[in-house]
Structure 1
């Protein structure tokens, strides 16, 4: 449920899973002495008697939590709940026997195979990125960020917290940069409350952060990244203005989600120092950074980008300068099919429920609200221009939703999903076909299979492993799916659609 993240010793002790908590330096000696004292009778272990009266209630609540997390797509959490419930009445021999049976069943499952593969991806494959030049990277002593919106503010905090170097944020309006300043102050205070930052370091860290309306504050930056409106002309303009003041060895990066890095740097004096550095929202949660090499990007720029990703504790993935890059291309393909299915008769909830049954962390139309319909439509427009309307049609209802200023399909703050009545009114359906869940999944997954095959043929990334790693680390897809290509192979969709598999075992 937590992508194989384990709890630490303090958490285990607080949960009652350990009897003592020892410091690292004396851990072995004190642990052995603790054991000797138990054997000699000097120390007695006192534990609270188990409280079984509300077991059924707790199991029921836990199952609801698991349902919310995995939507029935993973076997192991439900087996674990059965074993926990059984352990309340079984003797120890029965408990071990039932665990052995459960393990025997689970180890043969598709989810187990996918989880082992996913674990290897994020713990080995991700730490050996492909395409990193053998060049000494530049040292980053100051970071400049163009734009001060929510994404830019998240980036500013990340660079400040991880690098502990001066960070300057520029925008064109005072009220926008004031809001960014307030965001950084708030995030630093949250870090103190969580014990991630010492209170005495607050003033020092906050003093490293600066907001400005003046390009001159970028003069001594080593790395400048833009996070402005997703429009090529706007991005070209801010790069031109930045180039007039920054040093010749300063790197220019873009957080664009879909636009060409090559074109973005085409009118600059030094296009070789331009690189794509695409984060995923929320920045603090998703570890992936797509590093996009343009036709001009030199080895020093690329090596520095990978080194910087590592320093801010992100996983860099080399991606070809191709429309929407990797993750957004896959997610957008999924979205256009979901929209088409709704147009033809399905409800938004039916589509969301069908896709959630895969175990995805968020339903497609909830993801649309998180990303922002306007941003998603910009990505779709880029893909439509590049690959045509057959694969990436500009959905008219989607367009009307944006023109109406709607930011979500569903009404906000409702325990149960309720479609916004204004969305219902403007959405003109083409048909009234009654889809079964399996039909929705077949359409979406078969088209994803074809699109991923094209992505690999175009060499957008080096391998299907990169695709899977990106979907796990950039979109939060679960370990038990193994990303997307492994899942498509294991459930038989790849051989049915492509007459081959993405992997050979």
Structure 2
């Protein structure tokens, strides 16, 4: 263990504090282990060799006792445990060290399942990765209804649950539910579940309210010890091969073989049908700890956990103005989504305006219908639903914005239309009201050129769907002042978005890069490359969708309009496809039919070129174009650093975590010349993992 102890020399050690608790009803004495690293909830309980050694020592003392009726494990307030410390794992240099990490966790945790008395995990707070695996090694589990986050997110980082998760969980709740937690949720932007979800899935045996969680858990444990409550455990009767096979198909659809971790996890889950094999988990973890995907995943994880929370260039938050009412110009789908988000997160009145009553009623009706869906799913209470509906109203006149502090437009992407809207709004709002535009490509400075107070105009670019996509591009125009910018960042934070400061440049970050990406693929097809060849030329990256599928999601008309905007700004790099114009004119939604097969009529619109490229040529062409565009964006100062482009692409375009950021990927691929390095840095450092935790 000395090898890995050196790797974890900076470990924040989690102690295993043991105290005796008398179980109610005379059931006997429980040795209750409290996991606590000595910090508040901002530093969650994690495990390195030091923490595991202390837990092993506590178990040594417990095993030596003959007076115990049960053993329990609980975390400090708000935190159960969240896995291993990433700082040491990121420094692993050989497979031997990687194997030691897996074996050490197994050796300690499995002792909980081997004790001669019943063991209980009282999950009182966040339990992720190795934290959840500790609980799985116990015979019984209770969970607090207030727990906000339970997960096995290893596949998100390029790993597998390595301390029992792939073996114990499917045998507990079945392979289908286990796959949801181990694979589906991590690949869905690291989705977490809550305490009640864990209980309903069968991960926990009982659920209690936070106020008296420990007392009720001890009372329940006492009944188990006395035999008054029996928890049946049988191997779930499912067709394991079919369930895993179906999941493998879906992983293929999403990743196309680009990342190994989900496939290894599926293999391990299937093997658990025939019995627990912790050695296989150790081997898989060791292989993946040595893989490029982990290093890339750690870099991406660091971006979304650290840089996203401290936006580069954001002004002093003390300058932000209070927002007590929001106005939304427009009542279409995007505007209605925004209205609901503002009402839910800011909890202030939101008023929509539009040109006629029918559109207005449709927009407000959409919000109310979405609130009803949230209520039906029990994500909000009846009182909350009524309050949200009351907060969102409509008006045909913009004088409804008179007392608004923040007004955002979501109208057609046309400069003249947006200028007209803001001129009208400015006649009714106070001089300090922030005016925000959701433009995806147009110049802020031009948009505000005729305003009386252009300093209060800011770009506030959401991505669709508004409630789901985590990125918010905040654009500073030539006149935007610090108070307006600070208010925008404060609102973005309250909306629970990750905000990135962007210079007023055509299409900003995500749309500029996606348009360059799409432009090169479309140009290759226009030249004569068969559409399916170009469409699948970058499958090995494991992007969330293929180029023409993305175009269909965005809409050909929108994509074509953005390409025209960028062509006007950069005609030498951004073309306008005549074939795309024909597709838009045809009224077809894209090149795919509703059943996801190619629409041959739409594909035929791109025929005619006589210079076909191979898939590899298209791939290189696209990557070189992206590298060139990023280099130019950095030279222009569109963002503060390459990390901000990486963050935007991860959160706004679904750039895969297993590739890390787009700039280090292009560096590794040898495409970016010169490399995307910070000023004065001679080489790329290892991905930073300080303060991060590895759920394994």
Class of the TM-score when normalised by the shorter of the 2 chains: over 0.9
Checking the alignment, whether the CA contact within 8 Å between 1:3 and 1:478 is kept in structure 2 is no
Rounded to whole Å, the distance in 2 between the matches of 1:301 and 1:150 is 26
Checking the alignment, whether the CA contact within 8 Å between 1:63 and 1:81 is kept in structure 2 is yes
1:204 shift after superposition = 3.0
1:128 shift after superposition = 0.6
Checking the alignment, whether the CA contact within 8 Å between 1:110 and 1:490 is kept in structure 2 is no
Matching of residue 453 in structure 1 with residue 631 in structure 2: yes
TM-score, normalisation: structure 2: 0.68
SS, match of residue 276 in structure 1 = strand
Matching of residue 133 in structure 1 with residue 315 in structure 2: yes
Distance 1:354 1:426, change over 3 A: closer
Of 510, 525, 530 in structure 2, the residue corresponding to residue 342 of structure 1 is: 525
1:168 corresponds to = 351
Structure 1: gaps (5+ residues): none
Rounded to whole Å, the distance in 2 between the matches of 1:224 and 1:273 is 11
Rounded to whole Å, the distance in 2 between the matches of 1:3 and 1:441 is 25
Rounded to whole Å, the distance in 1 between the matches of 2:666 and 2:479 is 35
1:281 corresponds to = 464
Of 372, 376, 383 in structure 1, the residue corresponding to residue 566 of structure 2 is: 383
1:60 corresponds to = 245
Checking the alignment, whether the CA contact within 8 Å between 1:286 and 1:475 is kept in structure 2 is no
Rounded to whole Å, the distance in 1 between the matches of 2:535 and 2:291 is 25
Matching of residue 24 in structure 1 with residue 210 in structure 2: yes
Distance 1:50 1:371, change over 3 A: closer
Of 377, 395, 418 in structure 1, the residue corresponding to residue 598 of structure 2 is: 418
2:665 corresponds to = 487
Matching of residue 71 in structure 1 with residue 253 in structure 2: no
Kindly report which structure 2 residues correspond to 1:223-372, keeping only aligned pairs within 5 A, or say none: 223-372=406-555
**Higher RCO (Cα < 8 Å, 6 or more apart):** 1
Matching of residue 96 in structure 1 with residue 278 in structure 2: yes
Rounded to whole Å, the distance in 2 between the matches of 1:83 and 1:457 is 47
Checking the alignment, whether the CA contact within 8 Å between 2:353 and 2:397 is kept in structure 1 is yes
Rounded to whole Å, the distance in 2 between the matches of 1:163 and 1:499 is 44
1:504 corresponds to = 684
Checking the alignment, whether the CA contact within 8 Å between 1:230 and 1:256 is kept in structure 2 is yes
TM-score, normalisation: structure 1: 0.93
2:574 corresponds to = 392
Rounded to whole Å, the distance in 2 between the matches of 1:115 and 1:442 is 23
Of 169, 172, 197 in structure 2, the residue corresponding to residue 11 of structure 1 is: 197
Checking the alignment, whether the CA contact within 8 Å between 2:244 and 2:266 is kept in structure 1 is yes
2:396 corresponds to = 213
2:689 corresponds to = none
Deviations 1:329-349 (A, max 9, x none): 000000101101212333333
Residue range with higher mean Cα deviation, 439-448 or 98-107: 439-448
SS, match of residue 208 in structure 2 = coil
Rounded to whole Å, the distance in 2 between the matches of 1:152 and 1:26 is 43
Structure with the largest fraction of strand: 2
Rounded to whole Å, the distance in 2 between the matches of 1:34 and 1:457 is 63
Rounded to whole Å, the distance in 2 between the matches of 1:208 and 1:223 is 15
Deviations 1:216-266 (A, max 9, x none): 111111111111111111111111111111111111111000111111111
Checking the alignment, whether the CA contact within 8 Å between 1:165 and 1:208 is kept in structure 2 is yes
SS, match of residue 26 in structure 1 = helix
Distance 1:347 1:34, change over 3 A: farther
Residue range with higher mean Cα deviation, 369-378 or 75-84: 369-378
Checking the alignment, whether the CA contact within 8 Å between 1:224 and 1:252 is kept in structure 2 is yes
SS, match of residue 141 in structure 1 = coil
Instruction: Figure out how many residues of one structure are paired with residues of the other and give that number.
Output: 493
Rounded to whole Å, the distance in 1 between the matches of 2:218 and 2:634 is 54
